[in-house]
Structure 1
Amino acid sequence: MVQDPELRARLALWRVPGLGARGWWRLIDHFGSPRHVLAAPPAELHRCGLPAAVVEAIHAATPESADPDLRWLEADPRHHVLSPGVDPAYPTRLAELADAPPLLFVKGDPELLSWPQLAIVGSRNPTHNGQELARDFAQTLAGRGLGVTSGLAQGIDTAAHQGALEAGGVTVAVMGTGPDRIYPARNRALAHRVAAEGALVTELPPGVGVRRSHFPRRNRVISGLSLGTLVVEASLNSGSLITAYQALDQGRDVFAIPGSIHSPLARGCHRLIRDGARLVESVADILEELDVQQALPLAIPDRTAGVTADNGGSDAGPDPEYAALLEAMGHDPVALDTLVGRCGLTADAVSSMLLLLELQGRVQALPGGRYQRTGPEDV
């Protein structure tokens, strides 16, 4: 087992119940290092303004407290523990925060935590259209070279991770549990794939299970890793609004997709827009605001619709359904219901196809729920 005394001290101190990131940094500012904190007399710890229970827990901590973390670290070469100022792979954007996690437990490629990335978050119980939007935005952004970060939850988070993976892009999942506990359990296969192709990350040590208080902590890491946060669907009490407002507090960009005024899942996004979030209708809105478009590749792979969207054509022929949809649109503004009737497809299918065509610059969304062709004749 690893015998590095500094690492052991960091791990042991971070396991102290009730300490938290801000308490950690206050102690480090005063004592200089975790080893000095653990060796400090209780009276000196009290002078740092810590609760009596935390002082008692620090006094009781021993180097052996780190053993579960070290066993996890040594169990797999893809397991990593990162500390700011110690490990070069610790992401700079996260280290800038006043409450930056003192430790990150990473399964996967730690270098991806510093990749330019956008957080995509939203409801755990989204509409079908919301899931498709999250998946399509994530797929297109990942295809452009931007990483996609989310929280591995059901709903929008799951769709965002899946979209990025389908594009062969970068995705990072921030967990609200220890690195050895997957929540929700139904996302176990997705978590394994993210770890294999991207990175799972958490500030919570191995063995720590699900608690409600962990998720706001997780959310600040999601926004802290990212250049900006996109909220797809959210009610007024959605946890994704916490992520968005934390992003604003961190000085990061916030984006929101508007929806129907009658939908409860649009109200959170509408509140964000009123509070200064950027209204988003296309991926271009995000790339322009983040000013990263010039640094990203032109290819926009699509692995679900059978359409090649690379801004430069393809040897493959046009997808028949997309060609039929464009033919049905004609060249005048047309409503969604009209297109559904002309194509014989479901409204969800037509909406998804229109979104992809809009992202490719071939269709423009107009006021009143109408659409018009803007691009070349073929798909």
Structure 2
Amino acid sequence: MDKSWIKLSLVPQVGPQRFFDLIEYFGSAEEVFKTDRHELKNIGSLNDNLIEEIQKCRDIDIDVYINKVTSMGIKLITYNDNEYPNNLKNIHYPPPVLYLKGNVELLDGMNIAIVGSRNCSYYGSQIAYNFAARLAAAGFTIVSGMARGIDSMAHQGAISANGKTIAVVGSGLDIIYPRENKELYRTIAKSGALVSEFPLGTEPLKQNFPRRNRIISGLSVGVLVVEAGVRSGSLITAGFALEQGKDVFAIPGNINYESSMGTNNLIKEGAKLVTSVNDIIEEYELRIDLKEKIENQRVNNLSEGYKKILDYIDDKPISINSISNISGVSINELIAVLNKLVLLGYIKELPGKFYVKV
């Protein structure tokens, strides 16, 4: 972890583009702070206000700041660290520093973003929830922005299926926004990952969210837009996805509703029309290099008790009595577990209470 990178990222007005421009010009973040005011003025792109901010941050005790961050259970990852996600390495102006609470390994997994309107319809909220649950059960990690509406429903759907989810936020990780998502924030921190590029104390300002959106798409192999008007921020996420060479999927909506105009326009412009979860799953199962990765994540999403039962089931039909005898689990307990595995698409029930792996 390069402490000087963290310090430079704390300078107001130094976004990702200016950050990397400064690194390129000076050779290192440390050199930026060693340069005096007069020399900094010779750089045409630096105005007096920015030079003043750089001078102020020079005196920050970065160890105190880092200790504060880590004491909150937040991990700092700089661009040159081994843990920095490959999924973000090659996007346009990647975040120089990431703040993470949760499982860092999820950032380089088989991730699908689900985004859409904050003011969504009941139809949109149910589509987001159900698609997230089914995709999570199929082995994908669900990425979204923890905003009201579609984002929150996508996170909740993934959690309902014992799946994994990543929330990329537009504030510091010490600020929960919106406040009603406090419990969702805690759940994701325990079983998924919370991610931000913004320092502690950063308020959820309007200009932060387009920056946040490029990370949502960058972490994902594809982006599903569920419901969006023509000015929805989720269309910015779709735009970043296209720029990054990612897949864009869209749910068609009622042509009379403004809330569907954005998604319908995406379809007209070439986004893949999606009417079932299988439309997305099949897209990636056809890619041999990704199929094994999906399957590994799918099994890892299960709790140990469910994995144990799943291990006894293969492509040869086995009866519930045989599973009970082998596992030592009672029939009554098994019924609940097997029904859940069927619901999540891991196994199929045959006549006579026989089961096979799907």
The SS at the match of 2:190 is: helix
Cα pair distance change 1:82/1:281, threshold 3 Å: same
Q: State whether structure 2 residue 217 is matched by structure 1 residue 223.
A: yes
Deviations, residues 297-334 of structure 1 (Å, cap 9, x unaligned):
3779999x97624264138999xxxxxxxxxxxxxxxx
Deviates more, 1:136-145 or 1:37-46: 37-46
Tell me, yes or no, if the aligned pair for 2:37 and 2:55 is still in contact at 8 Å: yes
Which runs of no fewer than 5 residues in structure 1 stay unpaired? 319-360, 362-379
Distance, in Å, in 2 between the alignment partners of 1:132 and 1:141 is 14
Q: What is the distance in 2 between the residues matched to 1:181 and 1:94? A: 23
Whether 2:308 is the aligned partner of 1:308: answer: no
Q: Percent identity?
A: 40
| Matching of residue 61 in structure 1 with residue 38 in structure 2 | no
| CA shift for structure 1 position 62 | 2.4
Tell me the CA shift for residue 51 of structure 1. Answer: 2.7
- State the 1:140 CA deviation: 1.0
Q: How many residues align?
A: 311
Q: For 1:258 and 1:40, locate their aligned partners in 2 and report how far apart those are by CA, in whole Å.
A: 55
Cα 1:246–1:17 shift into 2, 3 Å? same
Partner of 2:27: 32
Q: Is the 8 A contact 2:69 2:200 kept in 1?
A: no
> Equivalent of 1:120, from 114, 118, 121?
114
Distance between the aligned counterparts of 2:82 and 2:137, measured in 1?
27
Shift of 1:68: 6.1
Alignment match of 2:294 (pick from 293, 296, 299): 296
Structure 2, unmatched stretches of 5+, are 303-335
CA gap 1:240/1:33 in 2 versus in 1, 3 angstroms: same
How is 1:1-379 mapped onto 2 (pairs within 5 angstroms)? 6-7=2-3, 9-46=4-41, 47=43, 49-64=45-60, 66=62, 69-76=65-72, 78-85=73-80, 87-290=81-284, 291=287, 292-297=290-295, 308-310=343-345, 312-314=347-349
2:113·2:216 contact (CA, 8 Å) conserved in 1? yes
TM-score (norm 1): 0.76
1:43 shift after superposition: 4.1
Distance 2:61 2:260 in 1: 46
String of CA shifts for 1:38-88, please: whole Å, max 9, x gaps.
112334434262233212211222252536631333314x42000111x21
Q: Deviations over 1:189-248 (max 9, x none)?
A: 000000000110100011111211111111111111111111000111111111111111
Counterparts of 1:188 and 1:203 in 2: how far apart (Å)? Answer: 20
| C-alpha separation in 2, matches of 1:68 and 1:156 | 38
Maintained 8 Å contact 2:110/2:294: no
SS of 2:211's equivalent in the other structure is helix
Q: Whole-Å Cα distance in 1 between the matches of residues 63 and 267 of structure 2?
A: 47
